[in-house]
Structure 1
Amino acid sequence: MKDLFGKAILDYQTNNAPQPLITETNISEADEMDVSYLFRSYKAMPKLEQKALQLAKGKVLDVGCGAGSHSLYLQNERKLDVLAIDISEKAIEACTLRGVRNAQTLDLLSLESAHFDTIILLMNGTGIFENLSKTFLYLQKLKSLLAPKGQILIDSSDLIYMFDEEEDGSKWISADGYYGELTFTISYKNETEDPFPWLYMDYNTLQNAAHANGMECELIAEGEHFDYLAALFVV
């Protein structure tokens, strides 16, 4: 793993000639992403992210924290106790430089003996599940990390809009797997990361997965473009 995502974040944080990240998927063409977006302020965040940060309470786990913008807001403005984790060492280094007090290079599945009142997974939080077949593994892990009356705040998008429509109004979708299972490729400064799986889940699929894992799922808010914020919890 070249950790190009983390490299771009750290380059931006240290002013080391950052360049745009190039992202591409198996159903979309290459697209530029300005790394500064990962360093956005609360006011510049999408409404769904703002809503999640307002709903956060107690001890918080920020999964896939990236550049740490969500953690910084919760830590500095909401005065909450936050653990920020990411598999990218360089991203965590940038988080620390930015002032995130507790940032650790850690895979969610490796986290043990800890319980949180709120777990946030934002910027398509279902992505880390990789594919539908691993959803059970990740939801069981998240469930085990919840304190009594704890909540998981997670966002994603229904990618149905990206598929061609037939004359009868139905969508043409390949029968080969779930349509939200994508393969991502990231390039940065003339280097390319090995392709990796990334999962987008429509709300009904997430709700069914939550129920199958002994959790309730509530639709908190919907965005402007097939995106949504949901809360998972144990009754």
Structure 2
Amino acid sequence: MKDLMGKAIHDYFHNENPEDLQTETSISELDELPVHYLFREFSEMNEIEQKALSLSQGKVLDIGAGAGSHSLYLQNEMGLDVTALDISPKSIEVCRSRGVKKAVSENMLHFSGETFDTILLLMNGTGIFQSLTVIDLYLRKLSSLLNPKGQILIDSTDILYMFDRDEDGGVYIPAEGYYGELDYTVHYKGESEDPIKWLYLDYNTLKNAAENNGLAIEKVLQDEDSYLAKLTKK
């Protein structure tokens, strides 16, 4: 793993000639991701992120913590016990340098030993599930990390709007697999990661998967095509 996201976060934090990241998916063109966006304050976060942070309580696990902006807000402004978790070693190094007290570089599937009152997965949190074929594996893992009365706060976007429509309003979507399963590629300073699988989920598909794995679900907030969901143990 080249850890280009981590490199960009590291370069920005240490002021070592950072450049914007570029991302692309199997259905979209190159898109700029300004690195400073990953260091944003609460006031610059979108409504879904703000809502998820305001609902967080108890002992929190922030999965896919990146530069640690969500973790820092919960730790410093809300006084919560937070663990930042990210697969990127350089990102976790920056989380620690920014003052996150507990930060772990690990794949969530291999992370264990503690349970939490709130588990956060934000900025298309369902992306980490990769594909519908392995979503059960991830949901069972999340459930195992959750205290009996705990909550999982997760967001995603129904990307049906990105596909072409015909005159009758029908949508041209790929025949194979689920339309929210994309290949996602990160580019930074002339280097490219190998594409990873990234999953965007419409709410009903997430609802079915959650319920199949013994989790109750409610939609907390809808913002255009994106939503925030809360999952709890039945």
For the aligned pair, the TM-score class normalised by the smaller chain equals over 0.9
Report the Cα distance in structure 1 between the residues aligned to 2:156 and 2:6, rounded to whole angstroms.
22
Partners of 2:104 and 2:112 lie apart in 1 by: 13
d(CA) in 2 for partners of 1:13, 1:211: 41
Letter matched to residue 232 of structure 1: L
**Distance in 2 between residues matched to 1:126 and 1:101, nearest whole Å:** 26
Amino acid at match of 2:166: E
* 2:119 pairs with 1:119: yes
Partner of 2:229: 230
Q: For residue 215 of structure 1, what is the aligned residue in structure 2? A: 215
Equivalents in 1 of 2:98, 2:117: separation in Å?
Answer: 24
Q: Corresponding residue for 1:60? A: 60
Using the alignment, how far apart are the partners of 1:81 and 1:75 within structure 2? 6
Runs (4+) of structure 1 exceeding 4 A deviation are none
Q: Write the distance in 2 (CA, Å) between the matches of 1:124 and 1:223.
A: 13
In 1, the alpha carbon distance for the partners of 2:181 and 2:34 equals: 24
Give CA-to-partner distance per residue, 1:43-66, whole Å, 9 cap, x none: 000000000000000000000100
What residue is the counterpart of 1:90 in the other structure?
A: 90
Q: Given the two structures, how large is their TM-score scaled by the length of structure 1?
A: 0.98
* Post-superposition offset of 1:8: 0.3
* Aligned residue runs from structure 1 range 1-235, under 5 A: 1-224=1-224, 226-235=225-234
In structure 1, give the amino acid aligned to 2:158: D
Deviations 1:31-79 (A, max 9, x none): 1110000000000000000000000000000001000000000000000
Residues of 2 paired with 1:128 and 1:222: CA distance?
21
| CA deviation profile, 1:126-173 (whole Å, cap 9, x unmatched) | 001011111000000000111121000000000000001112111111
Which secondary structure does the structure 2 equivalent of 1:231 belong to? strand
Secondary structure of the structure 2 residue equivalent to 1:164: coil
Unaligned runs of 5+ in 2: none
Hey, what's the Cα distance between the residues in 1 that align with 2:71 and 2:135? Answer: 24
- Letter of the 2:68 partner, please give it: G
Q: How many residues align?
A: 234
Which runs of 5 or more residues in structure 1 are unaligned? none
What SS does structure 2 have at the residue aligned with 1:19? coil
Find the aligned partners of 1:100 and 1:106 in 2 and give their Cα distance: 16
Offset at 1:113? 2.2
SS across alignment from 2:8:
helix
Distance 1:213 1:104 in 2: 26
Counterpart CA distance in 1 for 2:65 and 2:134 is: 20
Letter in 2 for 1:202: D
CA RMSD of aligned residues (A): 0.6
Q: Secondary structure at the match of 1:51?
A: helix
**With structure 2 as the length reference, what TM-score do the two structures score?**
0.99
Report the Cα offset of residue 106 of structure 1. 1.0
Q: What SS is found at the alignment partner of 2:92? A: helix
The amino acid of 1:30's aligned partner reads L
* Cα separation, 2, equivalents of 1:198 and 1:117: 26
